[in-house]
Chains A and B, each alone.
Chain A
């Protein structure tokens, strides 16, 4: 069974600080996705990473994929309160599609 683990599960950080969320997965895949979910809401697609070494940036968020290490990172630069949400990575391994455990991010003013 494909396992997708995120670290940390909970993150509280001050505005203006930088931090990285990690997403590790257990099988070969070059399809990885990052999503944001606000409380009580559905998902918003953030990034689609479809090859080894892929790096994408949008605003204060940057995502990367290392398929050899089976690792993706979501880097937050100079966090602002509006980034408070739960972030999920998801992996498509062909016949399996799994979401990570989620990282609940709280940005403190």
Chain B
């Protein structure tokens, strides 16, 4: 149980285009979802936290207009990177929870490369 999927697992896009990443909880209802980014050989950075039906809470320094997060249902959250640039290239990981702070389940990650 407690499986979280992400789609796509990797994506290459051209600079200036937008990319949408989906995060789904497959066998539980995720009241809270989290989005992280990780640069090569670095730690993870929390980008935002979202609760179903509410606006996402962004961490300091994360551009809300650039990283659009939608948590439309208890099983789906999306991250859209708008007008992507090479510096947005990173590993994006989502996690989901139905009982935070007790547990959060991580998706397999999406590797984004912007050329």
Residues of A within 8 A of B (CB): 31, 35, 41-45, 48, 50, 88, 90, 92, 97-102
Minimum distance in angstroms from A85 CB to a CB of chain B: 14
Query: Across the interface, do A45 and B104 meet the contact criterion of CB distance under 8 Å?
Result: yes
**Which of B93, B102, B107 contacts A48 (CB under 8 A)?**
B102
Interface residues of B in 45-60 (CB under 8 A from A): 45-46, 49, 59
Chain A residues whose C-beta falls within 8 Å of the C-beta of B49 in the assembled complex? 97
Count of residues in B whose CB is under 8 Å from the partner chain: 19
**Which of B43, B44, B103 contacts A45 (CB under 8 A)?**
B103
Interface residues of B in 32-51 (CB under 8 A from A): 34, 42-46, 49
Further 14 A-B residue pairs, CB within 8 A, beyond A45-B104, A48-B101: A42-B107, A42-B108, A43-B44, A43-B93, A44-B106, A45-B103, A45-B106, A88-B43, A97-B34, A98-B46, A99-B44, A99-B45, A100-B43, A101-B43
Query: Across the interface, do B103 and A48 meet the contact criterion of CB distance under 8 Å?
Result: yes
Chain A residues whose C-beta falls within 8 Å of the C-beta of B59 in the assembled complex? 97
Given the interface pairs A88-B43, A88-B44, A99-B43, the reply to whether A31 lies near B106 with Cβ below 8 Å is: no
Q: In whole angstroms, what is the CA distance A97 to B101 when docked?
A: 11
Query: Across the interface, do A97 and B106 meet the contact criterion of CB distance under 8 Å?
Result: no
Minimum distance in angstroms from B26 CB to a CB of chain A: 15
Q: In whole angstroms, what is the CA distance A92 to B43 when docked?
A: 15
Q: In whole angstroms, what is the CA distance A88 to B46 when docked?
A: 14
Interface-central residue, A48, A50, A97, A98, by most chain B CB under 10 Å: A97
Q: In whole angstroms, what is the CA distance A90 to B101 when docked?
A: 12
Q: In whole angstroms, what is the CA distance A43 to B46 when docked?
A: 13
Interface residues of B in 62-115 (CB under 8 A from A): 93, 95, 101-109
Chain A residues whose C-beta falls within 8 Å of the C-beta of B109 in the assembled complex? 41-42
